[in-house]
Amino acid sequence: MTREISVELQKVSKLYGQDKVVDEVSFTVEKGEVFVMIGPSGCGKTTTLKMINQLIPHSSGNILVNGTDVAELDVVELRRSIGYVIQYIGLLPHLTIQENIAFVLKLTKHPKKMQKDRAEELIETVGLPLNYLNRYPRELSGGQQQRVGVARALAANPDILLMDEPFGAVDPLTREQLQNELLRLQESIQKTIVFVTHDMQEAFKVGNRIGILRQGKLVCLGTPMEIVKSDDEFVKNFIGQGALFEVFDTIPVTRVLQKDFPTARYDQKVDLQAEELEDWENVFIIDSDDSCKGYIPLSSLNSDGSYTADQIIPLPKASSPDISVKLAVQEMLWGGRTWLPIVDEKSGFKGIVQFRSCAGLVAGDRR
């Protein structure tokens, strides 16, 4: 399946005098993808972003937005067709929240009624109460203002959003909340997002793909997992030691969940020859009502596979299937175990996550 390409940069450079701040950067962003640009300050990531909506004109190369070269487009029209989110100080302080959200619609002279309706719709989309529409930006907290910033970018319903360190000016707790909201929102709106940040954790969290820039050059490009596995010294240093864990935070535990695990009926012997026992240290005892009674380490079974009821160890505290691999590993470490039962509140026992399969996520394709 060929995917539609929303933004494409072909050998794009930006020169300030003799200084090449962006040096032949090429990448494509697919429709509906979150593409993150990251790098140390002065690496040219923001310049690259601003060249997409031509806030900064590029010196050479081609920039294509929805297949059309931006050089052939009217810059004002181009910018109106792309949502633009910056840190919350970008809200206009003399306008109410409603006027801020509908700013683009006002610029394009849409009827007042429509501006109001759209503002009402969007303020709900970003999870703020309707009565905030009549307030001024200074009356809102940083996190709330940032939500308005996102709503404002969505006003004209653009396919593409450019986000320039949008959560850079809020406290870490609010930032995480905003990231989660963005991800949830993105699930329903499916915009193409080009996102600039200097926070690697944020990049891993929101990005489908990540491009790392250094001195104007794109040095590494790939999915979070590919980035983590990079052998490039600069990339390794830049993403830091905890990076793998951060990537694990973005992978749902269901990806490593094993639904086939060795079981035995309560009051039946364990078949020690069974193939399914291979690679397992425990066998799980299933009651007649299909619930899991607990487990027995294979080592403590009698040689014929029989056991007594008091040998059954109750299952440790289970986790929900909504958690990330990172959380699952954390739970294992806390519990001093190499595995974790996953139980859904509604549908019951889902399966087991083994430490080995988590480790295999990285080592798996390396081998």
Q: Which residues bind another protein (CB under 8 A)?
A: 50, 53, 55, 76-81, 84, 86-87, 89-94, 103-104, 106-108, 138, 152-153, 162
Please identify, using beta-carbon distances, which residue of 52 and 64 lies nearer to another protein. 52
Measured from the CB of residue 329, what is the shortest distance to another protein in angstroms?
Answer: 41
Please identify, using beta-carbon distances, which residue of 84 and 195 lies nearer to another protein. 84
304 class by beta-carbon count within 10 Å (0-12 exposed, 13-18 middle, 19+ buried): exposed
Please identify, using beta-carbon distances, which residue of 76 and 130 lies nearer to another protein. 76
Please identify, using beta-carbon distances, which residue of 114 and 309 lies nearer to another protein. 114
Measured from the CB of residue 367, what is the shortest distance to another protein in angstroms?
Answer: 46
DSSP string, 315-348: PPPPB-TTSBHHHHHHHHHHHT-SEEEEEETTTE
Measured from the CB of residue 104, what is the shortest distance to another protein in angstroms?
Answer: 5
Measured from the CB of residue 80, what is the shortest distance to another protein in angstroms?
Answer: 3
List 85's β-bridge partners, or say none: 163
Query: Which of 7, 137, 18, 151 shows the shortest CA–CA distance to 65?
Result: 7
Instruction: Give the Å distances, CA to CA, from 56 to 47, 80, 219.
Output: 7, 15, 22
Please identify, using beta-carbon distances, which residue of 14 and 152 lies nearer to another protein. 152
DSSP string, 152-186: HHHTT--SEEEEESTTTTS-HHHHHHHHHHHHHHH
Measured from the CB of residue 54, what is the shortest distance to another protein in angstroms?
Answer: 10
Which residue type occupies 172? P
